[in-house]
Structure 1
Amino acid sequence: MNKLYFSLLTFWISFAALGQTGYHIKGNVKGIKPEAFTLAHYFGASQYITKDTAQADANGNLVFEGTQALPGGLYMILSPSKKRVMDLIIGAEQHFSFSTDTANVIGHMQVKGSPDSELYYKYQQHVSGYTSEINLLQRQLQFRQDLMTTTKINNLRRQLMEYYKQFTQENSNSLTGKIMRAGAEVELPTPPKRPDGKPDSAWLFHYYKAHFWDNFDFSEERLVRTPILQRKIDRYMQELTLQQTDSLIQSADFIIEKALKAGNKEMQAYCIWYLTNQAENPTIIGGDAVFVHLADKYYLGGLMPITDPTTVENIREKVNTIKPVLVGKTMPALSLTDTAGKAISLNDLKSKYVILFFYDPDCGHCRQSTPALKALQEKYKTTLDLQVFAASVARAPEQWKKYIRDFGVQSWVHGYDYSFRINFRKDYDVNNTPMIYVLDKNKKIIARRIPVEQLEGFLDYHEQTLSAK
C-alpha cells in the first residue's frame, strides 16, 4: 500500500472514532439475501472506509448501530460481493430508519428520521421522473428526428435545472444541499465575440476554469467523505491544466491554498495528501518536480495538518534523493570501471546525447528493453551523435560481462562498481530497473524515468523543439 495513502487512511479511521452520540440505522430492503452487509463512507471517488457491518434477516431487515457517532458524509451500503446496494447521507441525525426494494431502490425508498437522507431521495425521485422522460424522447429521436421532440427535451432539461437551483437554494444549509451544489457545473455566460464574429471559446475556457470551484465549500469537511472532491480535483488537474510541470504546480497550489484559507484541517489534509500522492507517479516528463514541490512545501514545510513523524522522514528522504536528479539539473558525477578494468566517467563522454541506462543483468524487464535500446543507439549513433552509458547495479561481475556478450552491446560504454561504494538507489534514484536518464552534451537531464519504447519519440520531439528555437 502506498505510504502516503496508508498514513492518511489511518488518521481517517481513528478520527471517525471521536464521535459522541452514537448511531442506530434500521433498514428494510426487500429482495436482499440474509447476508452480512457493510456500511462505509466514500474516501475519494474509488475508495471507501468501512464503519460497520450488519446481518440481514430473511425479511430483509438489518440494523447498523454503535456507541460513537459516525462522521458525516455520503455513505453506501455494500453487499458481501462489495456491490453498492444504495447510498445514504449521514448528517447530524443518526438515529433513523429506511425501507426500499431492490427492484427500484430510489423509487421505493422511504426514510424517516434523517432529514439529509430524506432530502437526498426526495431529490433523486423527482429527478428520475425527468430523466426517464428525457431518455424515452431521446430514443424516439434515434428513429425519427423532429423539432417537437427536441423542443420537449430542451424544456425538460430547463425544468430540471430550475428544480436543481430551487432545491439547492432552499436546502443550502443542509449537507444534502451542499453535496448537490458541490457537484454542479458552472453556469457559463454568453462569451464575447472574436474579431471574426465567432464566440471567443478561449475566453469561455478561462472563465470556466476561474469559476470551477465556485460551488464547492472548502470549509465543509464532510465533503471529503464524498466522491465529489476527488473527481473535481482530477478534472481540474487533468482537463483544465496544461500538462506541464509549472502549470501543474500552479494548479495544485491553487487548490491547496483554497483549502488552507477555508481553515478545515480534514479538507486541507485530503487536498495536500491526494495531490502529492498523485504526483508520486508522474505521467509527464519532468513531472517528478511536482511531487518534490508539494512534498517540500506542505509536508516538510509543516503545512500538512495530519501526518506522523515517520511519514515526514520518509518523504524527506525521497525528496532529498529526487531533487538532485530532476529534469533540468546536471547529472551527478558517476565514475565506474569498464570491462578492461579502466576507470570510466560519465563526464568523459562528449556525445550530443547520452542515454544513461541503469540496469540489472538478471532483470527481466531490463533484458526485454535491451534489444530496443540497442536498435535505437545504432539508428541514432551518427545522425544524433547518441551514446549509451550502461551502468550495472548488480553485485555480480561475471553476470555483467555475460550480459554484454549475450546482447552484443559492446559498442555501449559499460561501467561496473567494483568498489561497492555507490548507493544507486540513494545517489541516482534507482528504485527499479531499468532506470533511464536522457542527458544532453552538458550532462543536463532532459528526461528521466522514460521507457525505452518512448525514447525515439522523445528524441524526435526534442530535436524539433531545438530546431524551432
Structure 2
Amino acid sequence: MKKIILLLTTVCIFSLASKAQGYDIKFNFKGSKDTMMYLVKYTFDQQYIADTCKKIKNGQVQFKGKKDLDKGVYTLVSQEKSIYFDFFINENQKFTVTTDHADIVNTLKSVGNKENEQFFSYIKFITNKNVEFGKIREATKGKNKADSTKYVNDKLKELNADVKKFEADFMESVKGTFVYDVLNLKTEKEPKEIPKAKNGRPDSLYQYYYYKSHYFDGVDFKDERIIRTPFFDDRIKKYFDNVIVQHPDTVIQEIDRVLGKCTECNLIYNLLLGHFTYKYEQSKIMGFDKIFVHLADKYIINGNAVKCGVYSAETVTKIKDRTDILRNLLLDSKVAELYMIDTIYGKQVMKMGFDTAKTSKSVTDLYYKNLEKLTPMFTTLYMVKAKYTVLVFWASDCGHCQTEIPKLSENLKDLKDKVDFKVFAVQTKDDFETWRKFINDKKLDFINVFDPVHLNNLKERFDIYSTPVIYILDKDKKIKAKRLSADQVPDMLKMLEQIDKAGKK
C-alpha cells in the first residue's frame, strides 16, 4: 500500500468548493470486524486521510462532514491500513455502498451513485478474469512443458480477447463521464492497423510514434479530478521514464508540452512542477541537471512558483542559489580557471600564514602581501595541454578517496600513449604533509595541486559536497563528462575518443 499521510490544509494541495453542501457516505460492510476505517484520497503519488470513522458497529461505516470533499477517486482502508476497494466521490457526495467481506469485489453495490455502479461492474469483470488466469495456471500441473505452454498461450489469447472487447464496449458506454476519464488514464493507445516495414515485419517505428503521439489522448490536464486518481502519476512517470528518449533536451521539450496543457497555478500544474523539479534536481543521470536548471529559469526563479504557491520565497532563493552553481557545470560548459599550488611550492606557501588566517580580510591581506612571490608559483588548470583533462577533486583524509584515487591511477595506466590525457588532481584540504605523503606512497603520477591560498572557492564553484568528484574536460576545458567513478573514467575516455574519430570520418 502506498504511504498514507495525514491530510494537511495547504495552498497548493486543496481547493474549497464555492458552495459546500457536505458529504454523507455510508458503507454496509457485512462480516467486517474493523472498529475503525479510513476514507483515503489519491493525490498524484501520495494518499491522504480525508476522514476517519471511529465508531463501527456490525459493519456500519459512515463518513460525514459539512464541507464537500475534493472530487476524485478514494479508497476505503481498514484499521490495519490495507486497502479494501476504490470508489468515486464526485458531484454526488451522499450515497451508500454495500459489500460482503466474504467476497468484497463481487458483492459491491452502490445505492444512489451511478458512477460507482459503473466502476464496480468494471472491477468485478477484471477481477474475475484474473481469477480465471490463476485457474489456467493451476490446470497446467501434470502437463509437460510443450503442452502446458500451448494450453496457457491459447487460454491467454481467449482471455485477452474477452478483456479487450469488454473494455472497448465498456469505455464506449461510459464515454463523457468521469469514469471514462479515470479508466482512460490506464488505457494504452495502440494503432489498429500497423504498416509493414521493408523487412516485411510490423513497422516498430510507426508503432512507437503512434503510441507516443496518442499517449495522452483524452487526458484533460485542466480537470483537477484526474490527479486524485490511482493512475495519473503512473501515466506521467511511465511517459518520462520509459516512453520518451532519455536526453535532457527531449525531456525539457516534453515537460514544457505537458505543463502547457495545464492551467497555470491549478493543482495539476503545481504538483507536476514540484514533481519534475525534485525529480531532476535529484537525478543521477549525467546531464539531467540541465533539466533542473531549465525548470528553475522558466517556472520558478521568475516568481511564478511563489505566485502559484508551489514554493515559498525562501525555497525559491535556495533553488536559485543551487541553479547558479549548476548552470556553470552543465555538459559542454567551459569551466573556470583554477589557480593552484603544487607540491614543490607547498611548504613555502604554508609558511605565509594562510592556514591560520581567521577572516576573509586577513586572507586577502596575506594574498596581496605575498602576491609577487605567489604569482610564479601558481599552476593553473588552463596550463594543462592535453586533448582531455581528468579533473579530480579529492581529500587525503577521505576514506573513499584513499581507495578511489589509487584505483584511478592504476586504471589509467593502460591508456597511456593511447589517449592524450592528463590528470589535474586537486586536494580540497590544507593538510599538506599528509597529502604529499599519500601522493608519494601511492606513486600518483598526476598534476597534484592544492589551494592553500583559498583563492578558488572550490566547493561551490565545482559543486563538491563529497569527494572524490571527477570531471573530464576537452582541450578547451569544456565539460564532457562528470561525477564519474574511478572505474568509469577509462571507459569514458575511450568513448570520447571513439566519438571524436567517428566525427572526423
Q: TM-score range by the shorter chain?
A: 0.7 to 0.9
Q: C-alpha separation between the residues in 2 aligned to 1:230 and 1:53?
A: 25
SS of the aligned residue for 2:453 comes to coil
Residue 300 of structure 2: aligned partner: 299
Aligned counterparts of 2:9 and 2:316: Cα–Cα separation in 1: 15
The answer for the alignment partner of 1:248 in structure 2 is: 251
- Aligned runs of 1:41-60 on 2, under 5 Å? 41-45=41-45, 47-55=46-54, 57=56, 59-60=58-59
CA shift at 1:326, angstroms? 0.5
Aligned residue among 390, 414, 427 for 2:425: 390
Deviations 1:40-68 (A, max 9, x none): 322334x2233233336464444333333
- Equivalence for 2:349: none
The one-letter code of the counterpart of 1:390 is A
Task: Give the drift of 1:403.
Answer: 4.8
> After the TM superposition, which of the residue ranges 410-419 and 321-330 deviates more from structure 2?
410-419
Equivalent position SS for 1:279: helix
Q: Which has the larger radius of gyration?
A: 2
C-alpha distance 147-433 of structure 1, shift in aligned 2 (>3 A): closer
Aligned residue for 1:329?
Answer: 333
Amino acid aligned to 1:288:
D
Task: Describe the shift of the 1:107–1:376 C-alpha distance in structure 2 as closer, same or farther (beyond 3 A).
Answer: same
Correspondence for 1:4: none
Closer/same/farther in 2, CA of residues 376 and 137 from structure 1, 3 Å limit: same
Does the CA contact (< 8 Å) of 1:183 and 1:215 recur in 2? no
Q: Is the 8 A contact 2:221 2:268 kept in 1?
A: yes
How many residue pairs get aligned? The number is 458
Label 1:324 to 1:175 Cα distance change in 2 as closer, same or farther (>3 A): same
How far apart are 1:214 and its partner, in Å?
0.9
Q: Is 1:310 matched up with 2:311? A: no
- CA distance in 2 between counterparts of 1:402 and 1:67 reads 74
Q: How does 1:12-51 map to 2 (within 5 A)?
A: 12-15=12-15, 20-29=20-29, 33-34=33-34, 36-45=36-45, 47-51=46-50
Question: In the superposition, relative to structure 1, how do residues 50 and 438 fare at CA in structure 2: closer, same or farther (>3 Å)?
Answer: farther
User: Does 2:505 align with 1:468?
Assistant: no
* Residue of structure 2 equivalent to 1:119: 118
3-state secondary structure, aligned to 1:390: strand
Q: 1:162 aligns with which of 145, 160, 165?
A: 165
Equivalent in 480, 496, 501 of residue 446 of structure 1: 480
**Residue 254 of structure 1 aligns to a residue in which SS?**
helix
Q: Distance in 2 between matches of 1:162 and 1:427?
A: 59
State the 1:329 CA deviation: 0.8
Letter in 1 for 2:383: D
Q: Indicate if the aligned counterparts of 1:351 and 1:386 stay in contact, CA closer than 8 A.
A: yes
> Does the 8 Å CA contact 1:354/1:386 hold for their aligned counterparts?
yes
Please show how residues 1-20 of structure 1 align to structure 2 within 5 Å.
10-15=10-15, 20=20
In 1, distance between residues paired with 2:288 and 2:450? 29
Cα deviation 1:144-175 (Å, max 9, x = unaligned): 46989866654543343333233333323332
- Alpha-carbon distance in structure 2 between the residues aligned to 1:116 and 1:364: 61
Deviations 1:348-378 (A, max 9, x none): 2223322222234443433342232222233
In the alignment, what sits opposite 1:89?
88
In structure 1, C-alpha distance between the alignment counterparts of 2:150 and 2:408, rounded to whole Å: 60
2:267 aligned partner: 266
Q: CA deviation at 1:322?
A: 0.7
CA distance in 1, matches of 2:276, 2:20: 32
CA distance in 1 between counterparts of 2:149 and 2:416 reads 64
Give 3-state SS (helix, strand or coil) of 1:452's partner.
coil
Aligned equivalents of 1:395, 1:82: Cα separation in 2: 54
* Structure 2 residue 458 is matched with structure 1 residue 457: no
1:276-326 residue CA offsets vs partner (Å, 9 max, x unmatched): 322213343222112212221222345554423223222222211111111
- The alpha-carbon distance between structure 1 residues 225 and 421, as it changes in their structure 2 partners (threshold 3 A), is farther
Bigger shift: residues 128-137 or 64-73: 128-137
Deviations 1:172-205 (A, max 9, x none): 3332221012221113131222334332221221
| Greater displacement, 319-328 / 212-221 | 212-221
Give the whole-Å Cα distance in 2 for the aligned partners of 1:395 and 1:104: 70
1:362-420 superposed Cα distances (whole Å, 9 cap, x missing partner): 434333422322222333344323332222334555554455456x2542223322233
Provide the rounded CA distance (Å) in 2 between the counterparts of 1:38 and 1:239. Answer: 34
Q: How far apart are 1:131 and its partner, in Å?
A: 3.8
- Counterparts of residues 62-211 of structure 1 (less than 5 Å): 62-79=61-78, 82-137=81-136, 140=139, 143=143, 144=147, 153-211=156-214
1:330 Cα offset (Å): 0.9
C-alpha deviation, 1:328, in angstroms: 0.5
- Which residue does the alignment assign to 1:221? 224
Question: Cα gap change, 1:384/1:150 in structure 2, threshold over 3 Å: closer, same or farther?
Answer: closer
How far is the alpha carbon of 1:425 from its aligned partner? 3.7
Q: CA separation in 2, counterparts of 1:455 and 1:350?
A: 19
Amino acid at match of 1:433: T
SS of the aligned residue for 1:374 comes to helix
Which has the higher mean CA deviation after the structures are superposed, 416-425 or 69-78?
A: 416-425
| Matched-pair contact (CA < 8 Å) for 2:12–2:309 | no
RMSD over equivalenced CA pairs, Å: 3.2
Contact 1:31 1:101 in 2 (8 A): yes
Paired position in structure 2 for 1:231 = 234
1:378 to 407, 413, 423: 413
Matched, 1:419 2:453: yes
For residues 212 and 302 of structure 2, what CA distance do their matches in structure 1 show? Answer: 28
- Unpaired runs of 5+ residues, structure 1, are 1-7
SS at match of 2:195: coil
Q: Mean Cα displacement is larger for which, 229-238 or 380-389?
A: 380-389
Residues 190-227 of structure 1: per-residue CA shift (max 9 Å, x gap): 12223343322212211111111113222221111223
Distance 1:172 1:276 in 2: 34
Aligned to 2:374: none
1:433 aligned to 2:436?
A: no
Q: Which runs of 5+ in 2 are unaligned?
A: 1-7, 347-376
For 2:153 and 2:169, how far apart are their aligned partners in 1? 24
Kept in 2: contact 1:357–1:434 (CA 8 A): yes
